[in-house]
Structure 1
Amino acid sequence: MKEKNITLLKFLSITYKGRSDLRSQRGQIVKTLLLLIFTGWVVLSFFQEASLLRRSLNNSAYRQEASGKSLKKASATVISSRSNLIYSILREKDSGLLNAILYYSRKYNLEPTLVISIIEAESRFNPYAVSAKGAVGLMQILPSTAEYISKKYSIPWRGRSGLFNPSYNILIGCAYLHYLMKKFNQNLKYTLMAYNWGPSNTKKMIKKLKSPPSTTKAYVRRVVFTYSNLEKLNSLLLLRFPRSLSPHSLRKNQRLAYSLSSLPQD
């Protein structure tokens, strides 16, 4: 009789445990399905918004937001749309552009999302952009600054024309950003001010406790704004950047690495 009772208790225990495990498994399955449905919906919205924004880039509300004048009042749609547009541009331009950003940002211990945000503010991803002051390429670097950085970081100097090469421009730009980060003790605000206004002007401003020009303030707000939103997207798994990338991934993409002979000459 005792043996039967023991057997019955074991059976009930196993049955209860089995049902408990089944309930746990069902719970996990439901959670996974809900996550997949939510992620699919977000990704679909992600690309739909990017397409919508592309057709309305000349909209005055977007221009005002992009200039940094009304960031606090920007709608949720506009906030996400810039990040979505950036991602779609990176995908459309060529995976090699994203590869270069990932590789060189990691090389110089920078966040890829920060580098992307600077490129967006500086050139809107136009590798042939030239400013009124002579800054060149994706990250809008002055040739004199680029030459100094190339010597400091032992990077082969390819001249002004080399800065029109997206990969080379990103290499020099990331090295320069690393240089400024060290110079201003990892202070992002001062680093961005220096990138836009120059390190000498920024150091004088800090010493005299003065404010930077309104254009520099707007630039810093714009970069930080884009950077924070790209980071939010990254945390939602919409932008899953690998932690490292091999040089082979860069060489593999020949369409991005324009030959120097085809670039504008000095």
Structure 2
Amino acid sequence: MSDQKAAEFVEADGLATVRLNSPALTREVKEELLGALRLAAESTTARAVLLLGSEKAFCVGQDLAEHARILDEEPEQALTTVREHYNPIVQTFESIQVPVVVGIGGACVGAGLGFALAGDVRVAARRAKFGTAFTGIGLASDSGLAVRLVRALGSARAMEMMLLGTTIAAERAHELGLVTEVVDDDAWEQRARELASVLAAGPTSAFVAAKREVRSASEGGRDLPELLEEEADLQNQLGVTGDHVGAVKSFLNKEKPAFSGS
């Protein structure tokens, strides 16, 4: 029997990699994924995070065989997993301040789509498929999927995917803005790792600030003067960093800047 973990965490050269080895989310898989994500979120040396699925599927959501067994044996426990696992997983994603790149090698459905949309940059294999799946089994969505779909697609497209259970191909997902880039089936992991490595070698504080600004702008309920004030505060903070000062000098010297993350 393989001793491979359902979710693994590795960090090297400023890049924290979380790999989901099992596409169906059993209780064990969810607990290991949550643990791996917490390691990434709590790292003081990671300058970017890379989330990968298995070769043929990124994540297909809840393991329905396990769910059916719990419905039969312990019905009162069947849906506690939303608060016990899915919500903490998504909240941990949200707590990661550095850039998160997601590599999608195949099916990305249900909670898997929610997890993928919690990242900042998504690279998909051409064979990948994307769908919501929840209404097809008589459930509302979890994993923050509805809000992230609305942010990515707008309410009309999000409603279409949620109500009709539409499954879309990678190229269409790219056209709609669900994924950043589509590559050949044998290149998705390499390309995702390349992008994550570039981000891990970049101006980390500036990336953290950029994520904060985009989140603030997308959440709604904040007026322009408040957002402008946040921009001014962030500029003041970043203006004294080594990365900014060094990059300005490099620009003036017609050199490529080297970022330390400071």
The answer to whether TM tops 0.5 is no
Q: Higher relative contact order at CA 8 Å, sep ≥6: structure 1 or structure 2?
A: 1
Q: Which has the larger radius of gyration?
A: 1
More strand per residue: 1 or 2?
2
- Structure number with higher helix proportion: 1
What TM-score do you get using the length of structure 2 for normalisation? 0.26
